[in-house]
Amino acid sequence: MKKGFKRSDFPIFSTHPQLVYLDSGATAQKPQSVIDAEIKYYKELCAPVHRGIYALAERATEQFEQVRAQVAEFINAESVDEIVFVRGTTEAINTISYAFGLSQIQAGDEIVVTMLEHHANCVPWIECARKNGATLNWIPIDDQGALILDDLEKIITNKTKLVALTIASNVIGSTIPFERIIARAKEVGAYVLLDGAQYIAHQKVDVRALGCDFFVFSGHKMLGPTGIGVLYANKRTHSLLQPFQTGGSMISSVTTSGATWREMPALLEAGTPAIAQVIGLGAAVEYYKNEVDYAGLAEYEHALCKQLVEGLLLLKKVHIVGDPNRIMQTGHLVSFTVDDMHPHDISAYLAEKNICIRAGRHCAQPLHDRLGLDATARASLCGYNTSEDIEALLAGLRELVS
């Protein structure tokens, strides 16, 4: 039976027994199995993939491609060709903005994002719209950071070519009504890109049920290594894609005057890939598959969130960003401010007590500007956090505000 995250699976907590790690939204801690998988590759299997015709290289290729199949199954892709390995969410979205955006989005077309986006999912579209003469439209938010969908039909129109949205914000800790937005995008025939960076560690992903064309995430936020991420591109997009980078591995033939490309996923995987990291990602996927019951994980994380929100609501000078009730019911992170205190000072104060939270704009400046906030403090949870972690944070904040 799946039991969920076991804290003892994560060696960082035995290396640092006092650590209160509440920054998993930035990067998650790694279970021993992920660390072992990377070490094993370097110790037993280190060789290039897709090139060597000797046993070691063939085994490395086999393991590498096995992870592609694991990832495809993990997110319920239709075929392994839909899985492209990239460095992370940022690289995935930039890749789409070049591979798809530059050729498919023309002057007069519209791209739609939301005011909740991380810079990784708005700056590439600001740039793409600027270069192509397209218009970028933003779905607005209210004062609590909830998306306003009243004018959705006017924002997503027949001119909309792409709707790119996060399905879990890295600042506002409550769920996003993405189903309605995707449905509207489908109605007008727009392509849909979902930024799943903050979603995949907490909820089961089924790209076919979501009905997206592109789904992107980073390995390091779901217990995997840094330097590896996934770009899922639905087969129907493949004939529309142009190479983003050119060079080794993605080439079919080259002459002195030109080159032809291989098909997906090689088309978007130029150069030697991050082999060890891909193998580490495979171990993270296995961890989720074997250990994690998603309903139990959500229940556990929401209970921790509730404990945190209830504690914060008792502190006079503290203000939660977003709707506390929705965060308690659905969240895995809480952003907040403290009167007359810069979030960096809050974070530095807590750091002295081994409590790690994030402070700043969290790469979401349009969102902070809209809410009239210079910066926020953010505590983000993962399945290995405990009620004691939450109590330690609350105790630190109580001390700070008194």
Ligand X SMILES: Cc1ncc(COP(=O)(O)O)c(C=O)c1O
SS3 content of the chain, % helix, strand, coil (to 5): 45, 20, 40
Q: Could you give the 3-state DSSP secondary structure of residue 191?
A: strand
| CB nearer to ligand X: pick between 373 and 401 | 373
Catalogue the E-assigned strands of 100-250.
Answer: 110-114, 135-139, 160-166, 191-195, 214-218, 229-233
Q: Quick one: which segment of 30-38, 82-90, 269-277, 370-378 binds ligand X (CB under 6 A)?
A: 82-90
Question: Shortest gap between Cβ of 117 and ligand X (angstroms)?
Answer: 7
**Site membership for ligand X, residue 90 (CB under 6 A):** yes
Among 37, 60, 71, 120, binds ligand X (CB under 6 A): 120
| CB nearer to ligand X: pick between 120 and 281 | 120
| CB nearer to ligand X: pick between 171 and 275 | 171
Give the footprint of ligand X on residues 121-150 (CB under 6 A): 121
Give the tokens for residue 177.
């009504």
Among 37, 68, 85, 88, binds ligand X (CB under 6 A): 88
Separation of alpha carbons 252 and 178, rounded Å: 39
Helix (H) or strand (E) holding 69: helix 55-74
First CA to last CA across the chain, in angstroms? 45
Site string for ligand X, 311-330 (x = CB under 6 A): --------------------
**Site membership for ligand X, residue 89 (CB under 6 A):** yes
| Residue 363 known to be catalytic | yes
Separation of alpha carbons 301 and 331, rounded Å: 7
Cα–Cα separations (whole angstroms), residue 315 to 212, 312, 391, 397: 41, 5, 13, 8
**Site membership for ligand X, residue 63 (CB under 6 A):** no
Give the tokens for residue 155.
């924002």
Among 109, 195, 269, 301, binds ligand X (CB under 6 A): 195
Among the options 122, 128, 363, 382, which is catalytic?
363
With vertex at residue 248, the alpha carbon angle to CA 270 and CA 207, rounded to the nearest 5 degrees, is 25
R_g of the chain computed on alpha carbons: 22
Among 70, 166, 237, 347, binds ligand X (CB under 6 A): 166
Cβ-contact 121, 115 below 8 angstroms: no
Question: Shortest gap between Cβ of 333 and ligand X (angstroms)?
Answer: 10
Contacts of 43 (CB under 8 A, 6+ apart): none
Q: Could you give the 3-state DSSP secondary structure of residue 374?
A: coil
**Site membership for ligand X, residue 198 (CB under 6 A):** yes
Q: Quick one: which segment of 101-109, 192-200, 332-340, 341-349 binds ligand X (CB under 6 A)?
A: 192-200
Closest CA to 230 of 402, 72, 56: 72
Among 118, 161, 202, 358, binds ligand X (CB under 6 A): 118
Cis preceding linkage at 265, omega within 30:
yes
Among 218, 237, 335, 385, binds ligand X (CB under 6 A): 218
Question: Shortest gap between Cβ of 251 and ligand X (angstroms)?
Answer: 26
Largest interatomic CA distance in the chain: 72
Among 24, 63, 170, 277, binds ligand X (CB under 6 A): 170
**Site membership for ligand X, residue 197 (CB under 6 A):** yes
The H-assigned helical ranges of 242-293 are 275-291
Q: Quick one: which segment of 14-22, 49-57, 114-122, 129-137 binds ligand X (CB under 6 A)?
A: 114-122
| CB nearer to ligand X: pick between 118 and 332 | 118
Q: Quick one: which segment of 84-92, 97-105, 174-182, 346-354 binds ligand X (CB under 6 A)?
A: 84-92
Q: Quick one: which segment of 193-201, 247-255, 257-265, 294-302 binds ligand X (CB under 6 A)?
A: 193-201
Count residues near ligand X (CB under 6 A): 12
Question: Shortest gap between Cβ of 375 and ligand X (angstroms)?
Answer: 15
Cα 185 to chain centroid distance, Å, stands at 21
Catalytic residues: 363
> Could you list the residues that contact ligand X (CB under 6 A)?
88-90, 118, 120-121, 166, 170, 195, 197-198, 218
